[in-house]
Amino acid sequence: GIQVEQSPPDLILQEGANSTLRCNFSDSVNNLQWFHQNPWGQLINLFYIPSGTKQNGRLSATTVATERYSLLYISSSQTTDSGVYFCAVQDSGGSNYKLTFGKGTLLTVNP
């Protein structure tokens, strides 16, 4: 099955810093989503981005499908950005319904 690797596994920032999280996947995809799992465990949708670039406030994401990676940018980080960021993909050659998740990047933003 498709493999999803996220880097870095852990990241510690001071409030106000910028960061880039990366997601590599091993096969072509027709769905890629970024999620934020907050410290209370809730999974929050950030982006649906199988290709191209999107922005939402301080967050933006870019997926280069032909090179099989996606990047999530967080600018001017805040303590509320802390949590785990997951990338999840749907293999275009496999099941039409299964999302495969990476193991996540644990982000800690210190005041």
Partner 1 sequence: NAGVTQTPKFQVLKTGQSMTLQCAQDMNHNSMYWYRQDPGMGLRLIYYSASEGTTDKGEVPNGYNVSRLNKREFSLRLESAAPSQTSVYFCASGKTGTSFLNEQFFGPGTRLTVL
Out of 17, 43, 65, 71, the residue judged to bind partner 1 by CB under 8 A: 43
Stretch that binds partner 1, among 18-26, 35-43, 63-71, 72-80 (CB under 8 A): 35-43
Q: Considering beta carbons, is residue 58 or 103 the nearer one to partner 1?
A: 103
| Residue spans of beta strands (DSSP E) within the chain | 4-7, 10-14, 19-25, 29-37, 43-48, 52-56, 59-64, 69-74, 83-91, 100-101, 105-110
Backbone angles phi, psi at 81, to 5 degrees: -80, -10
Q: Tell whether residue 97 is a contact of partner 1 (CB under 8 A).
A: yes
Q: Considering beta carbons, is residue 19 or 90 the nearer one to partner 1?
A: 90
Site size toward partner 1, by CB under 8 A: 21
